[in-house]
Amino acid sequence: MQPYVPGSQRRRRFRNIRIKLYIISGAVLLALIGGVYLIRETGLFKIRSIEVIHIPEPKAAELLAMVKSEVLRGAGASFLGADNYLAWPSSVPFPKISYVSVYIEKHLITRTIAVGAELREPFAIWCRGNEDEAVHCAWVDRKDGIVLKPAVPTEGQIIPAVYDEDAFGDFPLGEPAIKPEFYPFVRSIIEAMPKLQIAVSRFSINRTLEEFTVGASDGASLVFSLRFDPNVSLAAVKKILEETPLTKIRRLDLTVPNKIYLTKRG
């Protein structure tokens, strides 16, 4: 049986509990108010400097304006202000057509922000269409083969030009020009041509056969399969050219596993 507690004593106990709760709640509220004041109103978290690293002008100014715009969209900047260190996230959304990546480096001790990015680098001109269809061309970037902007048809050695034999119509900007798994093969072959001292007039790709053809300026054709490791095929080309000059080759076919078909000029 529980001992009897007079009503006055119970009321006094409850009153003491309420007083303690009021004191604790007040202390928590004051701490929150003090914390908000410390973060928002004092200069303790005010950013001292924001710089763009590894990007030249005018791209640096464009990048910083884009990042600041994204920061201002966030709830942190709305509450704390864009010049508050805590309002800046570690990353922001960015247009994939302009940047491979965008990063934000935050340094709390110095209260500084560094913004950097890897820019899309125009690499080659990719064209669709043939004699029976209107030819549409666009610049693609080196990293992923992303379509950057429209271009005019071209052939020659200064700018790599890839002609898509069985693709037609306009390019969707910001999308890969070809399957992502094929593009590294294409880029490796294009970049290898100067090292092999092969002057190229035209590159062409056949999606149906999954083949990539190098049209040399002197008329020779080198046909690669996009299903095989290009490094293996390129090593084979190098070895063949050490034994047979390109001027004596009409066609070099590397589309069959473990086989090379060499057609010499008559």
Clarify whether residues 84 and 150 are in a common domain.
Answer: no
Q: How far is CA 128 from CA 57, 82, 122, 161, 190, in A?
A: 33, 45, 18, 11, 18
In the predicted model, what is the mean pLDDT of residues 69-78?
A: 79
Q: What pLDDT, on a 0 to 100 scale, did the predictor assign at position 251?
A: 93
Q: What pLDDT, on a 0 to 100 scale, did the predictor assign at position 117?
A: 92
In the predicted model, what is the mean pLDDT of residues 50-58?
A: 89
Clarify whether residues 126 and 114 are in a common domain.
Answer: no
Clarify whether residues 167 and 114 are in a common domain.
Answer: no
Residue 172 per-residue DSSP state: P
Whether residue 143 lies inside any domain: the answer is: yes
- In this structure, are residues 200 and 193 in contact, taking their beta carbons and an 8 Å threshold? yes
- pLDDT class of 14 with cuts at 50, 70, 90: low
Clarify whether residues 175 and 220 are in a common domain.
Answer: yes
Number of domains in the chain: 2
Q: How far is CA 25 from CA 12, 18, 22, 29, in A?
A: 20, 10, 5, 6
**Which residues, in sequence order, are CB contacts of 246 under 8 Å at separation 6+?**
198, 216, 218, 220
Clarify whether residues 172 and 251 are in a common domain.
Answer: yes
Whether residue 10 lies inside any domain: the answer is: no
pLDDT exceeding 70 applies to what percent of the chain?
Answer: 79
Mean pLDDT score across all residues of the chain: 83
Query: Which structural domain, as residue segments, surrounds residue 59?
Result: 49-119
- pLDDT class of 11 with cuts at 50, 70, 90: low
Task: Give the number of other CB atoms < 10 A from CB of residue 125.
Answer: 21
Q: What pLDDT, on a 0 to 100 scale, did the predictor assign at position 190?
A: 94
Whether residue 103 lies inside any domain: the answer is: yes
pLDDT digits (tens, 9 = 90+) for 224-249: 999 988 899 999 999 999 999 898 98
- In this structure, are residues 161 and 124 in contact, taking their beta carbons and an 8 Å threshold? yes
In the predicted model, what is the mean pLDDT of residues 213-231?
A: 91
Clarify whether residues 72 and 194 are in a common domain.
Answer: no
Domain of residue 250, CATH code: 3.40.50
Whether residue 43 lies inside any domain: the answer is: no
Clarify whether residues 220 and 113 are in a common domain.
Answer: no
Clarify whether residues 181 and 82 are in a common domain.
Answer: no
Which range has the worst mean pLDDT, 16-20, 90-94, 160-164, 259-263? 16-20
Task: Give the number of other CB atoms < 10 A from CB of residue 137.
Answer: 20
- In this structure, are residues 55 and 117 in contact, taking their beta carbons and an 8 Å threshold? yes
Clarify whether residues 112 and 166 are in a common domain.
Answer: no
Whether residue 7 lies inside any domain: the answer is: no
Distance CA 189, CA 212 (A): 9
Asked if pLDDT for residue 4 goes beyond 60, the answer is no
Four-CA torsion 184, 186, 189, 194, nearest 10 degrees: -100
Clarify whether residues 107 and 191 are in a common domain.
Answer: no
Whether residue 200 lies inside any domain: the answer is: yes
Domain-ending residue, one of 119, 139, 172: 119
Whether residue 33 lies inside any domain: the answer is: no
**Which residues, in sequence order, are CB contacts of 222 under 8 Å at separation 6+?**
198, 213, 214, 216, 237, 251, 252, 254
Asked if pLDDT for residue 38 goes beyond 50, the answer is no
Clarify whether residues 79 and 178 are in a common domain.
Answer: no
pLDDT digits (tens, 9 = 90+) for 82-136: 788 888 888 888 888 889 999 999 998 898 999 999 999 999 999 987 655 667 8
Alpha helices of the chain — where are they, by DSSP H?
A: 7-40, 59-73, 75-80, 183-195, 230-243
Q: What pLDDT, on a 0 to 100 scale, did the predictor assign at position 16?
A: 64
Whether residue 32 lies inside any domain: the answer is: no
Closest CA to 209 of 186, 225, 193: 225
Clarify whether residues 194 and 89 are in a common domain.
Answer: no
